[in-house]
Amino acid sequence: MVPPRQAIPEEEYAATPGVEDCMTHTIGLIGAGHIGSQIARAAVAAGHDVVISNSRGPETLQDLAAELGPSARAATPAEAAAAADLAVVTIPLKAIDSVPVEPLAGTTVIDTNNYYPQRDGHVDSLDDESTTSSELLQAHLPGSHVVKAFNHIGSAHITEHAQPTGSAGRRALSIAGDDAAAKAAVAAFIDEIGFDVVDLGPLAEGWRIQPDTPGYGPRLTSAELREATDAARRRG
């Protein structure tokens, strides 16, 4: 049985081994588009170092690196992966085979992706819902700890909707993953940059926040997001 979806109390973050280290080190981003650049901005504002990368080369990211300031640098995906204490993969699903594998072994990896057949082409195992997009990334990164997050918020809202811990009506974001310590690290990062967290359970439960589900898109508190993900139904 899948455990109930629940908000994660703030006091649990510090009790999880490795969370404090994750919160004070380098965020490595593989992909620096709308979502990736906004996560980078939020991470720098929270005091992190960031390494940004894309498929076109670090020379194409110099403007963003300059905007982010001295805590940021542009690099290749392999370099960003190697530098990461916490990695973020934020590229189209069809490109996940390009994600470096060996540098991410043992690393917690946030997957922001959604499956859009019109962009990614049809994937039979996703069309029949026998797996999820984040499980495909986990299969590609067998030595990493993949956590689904940031896939149901518009990019601009990552900075616009952020609020301090304890704020009334604070927006919640969901996570799903198979490793408890990795989920706690991601939850701590999300809280630090301005959002409450709802844990959906294992990575396979990420379907509850995919496109066309009630929780995908709108600004919701943790209670509202729990209700929305509970109400999600399979496409079939």
pLDDT value, residue 229: 98
**Helices (DSSP H) in 46-95: which residue ranges?**
62-68, 77-83
Q: What angle do CA 32, 129, 3 make, to 5 degrees?
A: 85
pLDDT tens, per residue, the chain with 236 residues: 334 445 554 434 333 334 444 445 899 999 999 999 999 999 999 999 999 999 999 999 999 999 999 999 999 999 999 999 999 999 999 999 999 999 999 999 999 999 999 999 999 999 999 999 999 999 999 999 999 999 999 999 999 999 999 999 999 999 999 999 999 999 999 999 999 999 999 999 999 999 999 999 999 999 999 999 999 999 86
Of 60, 40, 42, nearest in space to 192 by CA: 42
Q: State the Cα–Cα distance between residues 68 and 40, nearest whole angstrom.
A: 8
Q: State the Cα–Cα distance between residues 119 and 187, nearest whole angstrom.
A: 29
pLDDT value, residue 13: 39
Give me the phi and psi of 172, to 5 degrees please: -110, 145
pLDDT value, residue 235: 80
Q: State the Cα–Cα distance between residues 222 and 8, nearest whole angstrom.
A: 10
Q: State the Cα–Cα distance between residues 186 and 191, nearest whole angstrom.
A: 9
Domain covering 6-230 assigned CATH 2.60.220.30 in the classification:
no
**Helices (DSSP H) in 1-94: which residue ranges?**
11-14, 19-23, 34-45, 62-68, 77-83
Strand partners, 147: 110, 177
pTM: 0.90
Q: Where are the domains of the chain?
A: 6-230
pLDDT value, residue 220: 98
Q: State the Cα–Cα distance between residues 214 and 106, nearest whole angstrom.
A: 33
Q: State the Cα–Cα distance between residues 4 and 76, nearest whole angstrom.
A: 39
Q: State the Cα–Cα distance between residues 172 and 150, nearest whole angstrom.
A: 10
Q: State the Cα–Cα distance between residues 173 and 209, nearest whole angstrom.
A: 10
Strand partners, 148: 111, 176
